[in-house]
Structures are given as C-alpha cells and as structure tokens.
A and B are shown apart, each in its own frame.
Chain A
Amino acid sequence: EAGVAQSPRYKIIEKRQSVAFWCNPISGHATLYWYQQILGQGPKLLIQFQNNGVVDDSQLPKDRFSAERLKGVDSTLKIQPAKLEDSAVYLCASSLELTSSYNEQFFGPGTRLTVL
C-alpha cells in the first residue's frame, strides 16, 4: 500500500514570495491533515479536512495561509506572502473517515521550507 506522498521535499524562497505544497493521501482515506513542524518543536495542526470539507482550521493563519481539497483526494497548502517565521517542515497526514473513535494518522515525509 502506497503511503502519503508530498512534494516538493525541499523549497527555498525569499520572504514575501508565494509557495505551494501538494499532498496525495493514502487511497480511501477521507480525512487529511496539514501540520507545521518548526525546528525543535512538535507538529502543530494547521487544518483538517473530511473529504473536501474543512473540519478544523482554528490554527491556520488565514491572512497568509490557504488550503484546499477540491475533489476530496489531493490537497494543496499555500503561503502568500511568506515570512521568515514560516520556515518549517510541513507535514501531511491522512486517516480513515473521522469517527468518534480514533483512526490512526499516517504521515508523509514532509516538505522542508526555508524562507530567506
């Protein structure tokens, strides 16, 4: 079974530029998550989708970050414009449909963003 795919693996941009990350979850997984992992910290949830609907985006900086999952499969996360403090690894994870009991989240390898 293929895992969660992410691209690119690395990205270097200058502040005020725009950047987009792509995630392809495990086939059949209805729930998709984007996390931000700043160096030396644990991952922090940015946004959670159930199919193509947003379940939780309370920690997404909506003035500069946006995410979509138009067909309920792939997802893109965009930053526009980027700031120095956005330098981090962006992790995508997926799980089976959101229910009242826990479904294991499977993580992709992440995209390492450096903002200069």
Chain B
Amino acid sequence: GDSVTQMEGPVTLSEEAFLTINCTYTATGYPSLFWYVQYPGEGLQLLLKATKADDKGSNKGFEATYRKETTSFHLEKGSVQVSDSAVYFCALIRYNFNKFYFGSGTKLNVKP
C-alpha cells in the first residue's frame, strides 16, 4: 500500500544552519507530494507541494524536489531560523484520491 517514511527527529540545529529532512515514499502510479508544517498548538499548514516528477516545490525559503527515480522528496532550507522550529510532515496523495498518507513527522528545534 501507499506509505511515506521520513527521518526520525528531533533534529536540532543552530540558527543559519542548513536543513535537510529526508522523505521517501511508496505508491502506485504517480502521486502528488507535500510537506506540511505544524507549529506548536496549531493545525497543519501546507508548506509546499509538487505534483509530478522533477517538479520543485518552494515556499518561505524551503525547497523540495520530486525525485521519481529515488522515490524521494527531501525538504531543504539553506539557513534556518528560530521561527522554523516546528514539526514537519511529508505526505502523498494519489491522483483521483483525496486521501493523504502522512509520514510520522520530524520535529525541528532551532537554537539561537
């Protein structure tokens, strides 16, 4: 069945450090891929998405590229800020199905 695997956290970085959070997926067909962010006490917010192979999603300095050959969608940011501290979820949805499959989440702590 469809599934998403992402690296376990927590990930602790100093401000301005480079961030990578790994995400790989298993799915039949051609899913769309997403990164959601959950700040403390809030609901999930869409961070970025990519709907086909080689697409790059980007938002707020975060980027992720849909790699079909490696079934990956790793999240990157060149310089993290304390305000980026949150839990990040990788997710997929298959075409014609509006059902998300979420990874288990990766908590990011950014220290000043």
User: Is there an interface contact between B103 and A42, defined as CB atoms closer than 8 Å?
Assistant: yes
Query: What is the CB-to-nearest-CB distance from A113 to chain B, in angstroms, rounded to a whole number?
Result: 15
Query: What is the CB-to-nearest-CB distance from A93 to chain B, in angstroms, rounded to a whole number?
Result: 8
Chain B positions 42 through 80: 1 when the CB is less than 8 Å from some CB of chain A, otherwise 0 = 111110000100000000000000000000000000000
Chain B positions 83 through 101: 1 when the CB is less than 8 Å from some CB of chain A, otherwise 0 = 0000001010101101110
A7 to B35: give the CA distance in the assembly, Å: 26
A105 to B102: give the CA distance in the assembly, Å: 13
Instruction: Determine the residue in chain A with the shortest Cβ distance to B8.
Output: A40
User: Which residues in B have their C-beta under 8 angstroms from that of A95?
Assistant: 98
User: Is there an interface contact between B43 and A91, defined as CB atoms closer than 8 Å?
Assistant: yes
Asked whether any CB of chain A lies closer than 8 Å to the CB of B104, the reply is: yes
User: Is there an interface contact between B100 and A43, defined as CB atoms closer than 8 Å?
Assistant: yes
Task: Tell whether A103 pairs with B98 under 8 Å between CB atoms, given A41-B104, A42-B91, A42-B103.
Answer: yes
User: Which residues in B have their C-beta under 8 angstroms from that of A40?
Assistant: 104-105
Query: What is the CB-to-nearest-CB distance from A9 to chain B, in angstroms, rounded to a whole number?
Result: 9
Asked whether any CB of chain B lies closer than 8 Å to the CB of A14, the reply is: no
Give me the interface of A with B, judged by CB distance under 8 Å: 3-4, 31, 40-45, 48, 56, 91, 93, 95, 98, 100-105, 107-110
A-B contact pairs, 23 of them (CB 8 A): A31-B98, A40-B104, A40-B105, A41-B104, A41-B105, A42-B4, A42-B103, A42-B104, A43-B100, A44-B102, A45-B99, A45-B100, A48-B98, A56-B99, A98-B98, A100-B95, A102-B51, A102-B93, A103-B98, A105-B46, A105-B100, A107-B43, A109-B43
